[in-house]
Chain A
Amino acid sequence: MVKSEGVRKSFGHTEVLKGINLVVMPREVMCIIGPSGSGKSTFLRCINHLEKINGGRLWVDGELVGYRQKGDKLYELKDKEVAAHRRDIGMVFQRFNLFPHLTAMENVMEAPVKVKGESKANARRAAEETLEQVGLSDKSHAFPNALSGGQQQRVAIARALAMRPKLMLFDEPTSALDPELVGEVLDVMRRLALEIGMTMVVVTHEMGFAREVGDTLVFMDGGVIVEAGDPKQVLTSPQHERTQAFLSKVL
């Protein structure tokens, strides 16, 4: 589903990604952990081209991200084509980024109606279903600021799901939440992975979630992948000393 070959990314003179190689298979849940500044969020944002990569190649569902290749020449994609690619990739942000001027229902309906051109009636029916899926059918007419952080994040997940994505990206989805609200969001994500078999890339600090739901765990530090493998193995017997140091601090 996602294939990354030597992906590099710099902001000015600082290189934050120094050659990332990984593959995410369909229905796989990959969790990425690592200290802050390790480049894990940046890499996630590269997958749907919110950040432009400076080197390497990145494919989603067999298509090159952000470029078209003809012969051995690369052509940048137009905004429109990039937008079309993004429709198949759902993204959930650390700070929710719900549209505050729209109700929960309108947040979920916005993209299907305006981007995909679905009829309002259809979109409403689908939105009711997705909101039910995240357990918020009773909040569909509430504005985001009337919802708790956990509820907002669940609406944000519903909003991403409404576009029926092939791949979901989660950028520290529980880091901005009060501790007692983390569970409800993780629950929704767990169901997404186990019941629907959604392909997911999750940047997280929730080791429990990574261990239980994740198929692969990737530890990143300093812009490179230090260690990757089965979550239980990496968490219990990390091979690399940087992984050991990091895990000893967070576990």
Chain B
Amino acid sequence: MATTTRPAAPPESIEAVPVRHPGRWIAVVVIAIAAAMFVNMLLTNPAFNWSFMVDNMFLPNVLAGVRTTLVMTVLSMVIGVIIGIVLAVMRLSPNPIVSTTAWVYVWFFRAIPRIVLLFLFGNLGILYQRYELGVPFDTQIGNLIGIDLNTRFLGLDARTIVTGFMAGLLGLALSEGAYMAEIVRAGIQSVDPGQGEAASALGMSRALTMRRIVLPQAMRVIVPPTGNETIAMLKDTSLLLAVPVTNELFFQLQGIGSRTFQVFPMLVAACLWYLAMTSVLMVGQYFLERRYSRGFGARLSKEQRALQEAQAAGGAH
């Protein structure tokens, strides 16, 4: 084995013929042709009626629709996340009644399609004409002991509280709560049980441990699917025409389409609006995910980064 003991001359760099990828070139050609056909269709097919679409997709009522859609998305997600956290904590509670209640809620609202739920909430006015606050079963109790008992102190007409907007918000938020509950539960369960033990050993209460130690770590697991849920929610606001919520984006665009017999351009306009709004949400999701990966992966703390930058700046002189 004389060769191994020879003083190591630096090995020359390799100049080999690289592997060819003919498949890639075929794919490029096929995709280029398909793309050209698609663009050609967009430009030449009169059904698109681009000028009509551009003229109509920024009308004041459409912009109001965009606003309603965004407000609805934000509100239903905020309420949904709060319901989700409460349900997830209930679900993990040692109290069997509380955890079963959470399970039943999730079971019910996950089982019912959103559009059915929205139709249902849109027709809640059928159930009661008035909604009143007071002692539960007061008239029944009154009858039982033989007096005319009425404890209702606040009454509202169904049409004033179950407006289209409220009914739609209720439907979306309640059903979102069920999905968020599962996401939050998975997040909480992903946190090492040792974290809870360490917090208990320091004398932290269960609520404090949840708020300061467990949830911040669970967020790393919770945020990405919640971003997806938000994007899905934005799109599901189009289902609000089942309630109906008349000042919502899709309802408005469709309305213009059917009034003017230009259905197709307005559907394309809807696609573009949802594309634009979803893209904005995706940027937001990126920053949120970065925020909650604090302490995981190779990221440095703010102070460490500042220190490094200072050192780099000092080294340059």
Contacts and interface: CB of A to CB of B under 8 A. Distances in A.
A200 to B, nearest CB: 15
A101 B217 contact: yes
A115 B195 contact: no
Contacts of A89: 201
A115 B202 contact: yes
A74 B313 CA distance: 66
A27 interface: no
Contacts of A37: none
A117 to B, nearest CB: 12
Interface stretch (B47-55, B142-150, B221-229, B297-305): B297-305
A79 B301 contact: no
Contacts, number: 86
B97 to A, nearest CB: 18
B206 interface: yes
A176 B202 CA distance: 21
Contacts of A98: 198
B294 interface: yes
B198 A99 contact: yes
Interface in B183-228: 192, 194-195, 197-206, 208, 212-213, 216-217
A38 B186 CA distance: 34
B203 A141 contact: no
A162 to B, nearest CB: 9
Nearest to A143: B295
B38 interface: no
Q: What bracket does the count of chain A residues touching chain B fall in?
A: 35 or more
Contacts of B192: 97
A79 B206 contact: yes
Given A95-B194, A115-B208, A50 B201 contact: yes
Given A141-B304, A142-B301, A143-B295, A114 B204 contact: yes
A79 B295 contact: no
Interface stretch (A18-26, A80-88, A229-237): A80-88
A246 interface: no
A121 to B, nearest CB: 17
A100 B295 contact: yes
Contacts of A87: 202-203
A115 B203 contact: yes
A58 interface: no
Contacts of A144: 295
Contacts of A154: none
Contacts of A77: none
Nearest to B198: A97
A111 B197 contact: no
A160 interface: yes
A83 B197 CA distance: 12
Contact of B205 (A83, A101, A142): A83
A103 interface: yes
Contacts of A194: none
Given A100-B295, A143-B301, A48 B201 contact: yes
B198 A100 contact: no
Interface in A91-148: 91, 93, 95, 97-103, 110-111, 114-115, 141-146
B218 to A, nearest CB: 10
B301 A103 contact: yes
Most buried by B among A85, A95, A99: A99
Nearest to A103: B301
Contacts of B294: 101, 143
A11 B307 CA distance: 50
A111 B194 contact: no
A50 B212 contact: no
B296 interface: yes
A158 interface: no
Nearest to A50: B197
24 contacts: A79-B205, A83-B205, A86-B203, A87-B203, A89-B201, A97-B192, A98-B198, A99-B195, A99-B217, A101-B294, A103-B301, A103-B303, A114-B212, A115-B208, A141-B303, A141-B304, A142-B301, A143-B301, A145-B295, A145-B297, A156-B198, A159-B202, A160-B201, A163-B203
Interface of A: 48, 50, 79-80, 83-87, 89-91, 93, 95, 97-103, 110-111, 114-115, 141-146, 156, 159-160, 163
Interface of B: 192, 194-195, 197-206, 208, 212-213, 216-217, 294-297, 300-301, 303-304, 307
